[in-house]
Amino acid sequence: MTTATLPIQTTPLRQDAQIIALVGLAHAASHFGHLLLPPLFPVFMTEFALSYAQLGALMSVFFVVSGIGQASSGFVVDRLGARPMLFAALGVFVAASVLASMVTGYAGLLAVAALAGLGNATFHPVDFTILNQRVSTHRLGHAFSLHGLAGNLGWALAPVFFATVSALSHWRMAYLAAAGLYLVVLALLFFKRDKLSTHHVASHPDAPPEHSMAFMRLPVVWWCFAFFLLSTMTLAVVQAFSVSILQAMHGIGFEAATLTLTAYMLCGALGMLVGGFVAVRSRHSDRVVAICMLLAALLLALCGTGLLGPTLTMLLLAATGFAVGIGGPSRDLMIKQATPKGATGRVYGLVYSGLDTGFAISPMIFGVLMDRGWYAATLLGAALVLGLSVIAALGVGQRSH
């Protein structure tokens, strides 16, 4: 199979660094948008008399819209280019933030969730199209590493931002401030728009014309989708339930349990930095990913046994984030190697919609175990799912080489 690898580029480090930084900023903005609503869930429960089920449905709406939109937007990115879609997505986030500042009930929050999901839909096809086309081939591992790190920083910023502005003023002002933040990002990226241009990759003139949906017949694409679905289901369990599990299984206080989740995310970011160096030195990205996910699954399973004390459990859970993070840049290279020439946006859009699907269905599946009080089984189940992602990663590798 022909891959999407372009001829090796020899561009200055300064130019590559600027492109990586700009795309990283965009990725941080998209992850910030993932948490546009959740930090203020307690406020919404009080102000609009909402239940936990209603709040959970808001996130389901976000990820369903994002998943469908992500699978579809890749086609537009391949046809129109990444830059116009990036600017449109940031504009949608501005609109979602302004709308959030004016909501008067649950219907308005549902509209915000749908609009934010639509804004989020284009970022992965856009980001990876720009990186794959504009960054020197030998620096792509580091580019993917910093791209993932920026996303984690966007997640980390959102709760602090909304809590701080709400405390200083009002939660509605926090959303207007978020709209202003998105406008600043949009203005900066527009000012540097020459660094973000992409081109349509034409097929070989002697090759027969291929339907735009032809890539969906490739088994490797669906193996990639399966990997993202399975690995994200585990991440969703950690994000949604780890604090409650640590409290229930080991009597750990809320602050310490929350700090453990923060440590998981920070260790994941550190792992991504290390993983960038691993990715550029490895010739078998799929094997790196498989080893990292297997190690993480084993660590998570140890946490799920309940045999470890609270301190060791918290340490191993944080170490799980580090193992997953190391595999992140190699994962993105693995997808690149599986991508047919000229289909970068479409493939990344479809594959990364597996991420949205995992976030959407995992809380519903594992929430049943949590409702029954099966906390250890929840962690063990998450470890099992992550172990299955190892099979998917190796399946991608077998069909890419």
Alpha helices (H) in 81-139, listed in sequence order:
82-100, 106-120, 123-134
CATH of the domain at 370: 1.20.1250.20
Torsion-angle region of 392 (φ positive above 0: left; ψ -120 to 50: alpha; else: beta):
alpha
Length of the chain: 401
| 191 and 293 co-located in one domain | no
In-domain check, residue 80: yes
Confidence band (pLDDT; 50, 70, 90) for 3? very low
Q: What is the pLDDT of residue 2?
A: 39
| Domain total of the chain | 2
Query: What pTM does this model have?
Result: 0.77
Q: Which two tokens stand for residue 133?
A: 């086309």
Q: What is the pLDDT of residue 8?
A: 44
Give the number of C-alpha atoms closer than 13 A to the C-alpha of residue 46, restricted to the C-beta side: 4
| 387 and 283 co-located in one domain | yes
Q: Which two tokens stand for residue 127?
A: 């980001």
| 120 and 239 co-located in one domain | no
Q: What is the pLDDT of residue 210?
A: 52
The pLDDT tens digits of the residues spanning 283-312 come to 888 899 999 999 999 999 999 998 888 999
Q: Which residues of 66-75 are buried (b: 16+ CB within 10 A; e: fewer)?
A: bbbbbbbbbb
The pLDDT tens digits of the residues spanning 141-162 come to 888 889 988 988 888 788 888 8
Q: What is the pLDDT of residue 157?
A: 84
Crossing angle of the two packed helices 344-371 and 219-250, in degrees rounded to 10: 30
Q: Which two tokens stand for residue 255?
A: 């602050």
| 234 and 162 co-located in one domain | no
**Alpha-carbon span 112 to 129, nearest angstrom:** 27
Q: What is the pLDDT of residue 208?
A: 45
Asked whether residue 7 carries a pLDDT value surpassing 70, the answer given is no
| 163 and 229 co-located in one domain | no
| 191 and 297 co-located in one domain | no
| 128 and 234 co-located in one domain | no
Sign of CA dihedral 364, 368, 371, 374: negative
- Residues 35-40: what's their mean pLDDT? 86
Mean pLDDT of all residues belonging to the chain: 86
Closest CA relative to residue 263, chosen from 225, 312, 320: 320
Domain range for 303: 216-400
